[in-house]
Structure 1
Amino acid sequence: MSDSENASTAPVLLYDGVCGVCNRGVRTILRFDRRGTLRFAALDSDFARGVIARHPELADVDSVVYVTNPGGSDETVDIQSAAMFRVAEYLGGPWRLTLAARAIPPFLRDWAYARFAEVRYHVGGQYDTCPIPPPEVRSRFIDAA
């Protein structure tokens, strides 16, 4: 991502920055991301607030959000299971096998996602504040301290 223009249009994954499960998911993505272009921002960041302002349907969303072409006139957002599928598409390789779950109707996938989201802090713990990413990947985090 040496080109600043590419950095500004690279997809962004919004996530719950204090969620232990979400943070482990982000670390997993970083480990398997061969392209190194996907960026990250916590749901309570200034960047995420801007995305939410542009997409009022996200006002009450407490979910992972995959943002394509952030800030552009063709910006799109995917949430819940659709966002997870976008990450699998982005990662490619064996992660694409999870795309077979698209055969499950979206309302069932998102119902299951919402049920897990309700207990995610019990399953994976919760941080007091969003952890600071390691220096080697910090540039991929928007609004990181």
Structure 2
Amino acid sequence: MNTKHSHIILYDGVCKLCHASFNFIIHRDSKAIFRFQALQDFKNFELLESQIQKPIPDSILYIQEGKIFTKSTAALKICKNLDGLWPVFYVFIMLPRPIRDYIYDLIAKYRYSWFGKYNTCMIPDENLIDRFI
């Protein structure tokens, strides 16, 4: 991936759960390693299609040093880099991926009906603008 950032989170910019997760990560990333972009604004889907299994997830992708992670693996790898006790959750990486992804997919499937949806993607305020790519 042609970028200077090594920890990029692509998220569903209209999902209220994803927006809450974004805020959660921002507040637990004191080193400011993560950079963000809404999937709706991402321009290089051809790169993603060449590196991950289709269909491209519409909820979260985590790109760490050029390697793309999806679904539960993305969430756990993000937790591994957060402040506090959140890295402890990385132990769940030992569960078989189909089990982890089943739970992830269930939440992702119903996220709009359970948590709601925005009409447009969030526009970052001036305090967060440098965290977006």
Q: TM-score, normalization: structure 2? A: 0.87
> Residues 122, 16 of structure 1: CA spacing in aligned structure 2 closer, same or farther, 3 A cutoff?
same
Identity %: 28
**Partner in structure 2 of residue 43 of structure 1:** 39
Mapped pair 1:138 → 2:132? no
How much is the aligned-residue C-alpha RMSD, in angstroms? 1.9
Q: By how many angstroms is 1:48 displaced?
A: 5.1
Are the counterparts in 2 of residues 38 and 140 from structure 1 also a CA contact under 8 Å? yes
Match status 1:13 vs 2:9: yes
Distance 2:79 2:130 in 1: 22
TM-score of the pair, normalised by structure 1:
0.81
Return the offset for 1:47. 4.1
Change beyond 3 A, Cα 1:101–1:25: same
The answer to which structure has the higher helix fraction is 1
Residue matched to 1:86:
77
| Partner secondary structure for residue 9 of structure 1 | coil
CA distance in 2, matches of 1:107, 1:56: 16
> 5+ unaligned residues in a row in structure 1: which ranges?
1-6, 70-74
Which residue does 1:109 correspond to in 2? Answer: 100
8 Å CA contact 1:14, 1:48 repeated in 2: no
Indicate conservation of the 8 Å contact 1:11/1:68, yes or no. yes
Paired amino acid for 1:38: F
Structure 2 equivalent of residue 124 of structure 1: 115
Which stretch of the first structure deviates more once superposed, 133-142 or 19-28? 133-142
Give unmatched runs, 5+ long, in structure 2: none
Correspondence 1:26 to 2:17: no
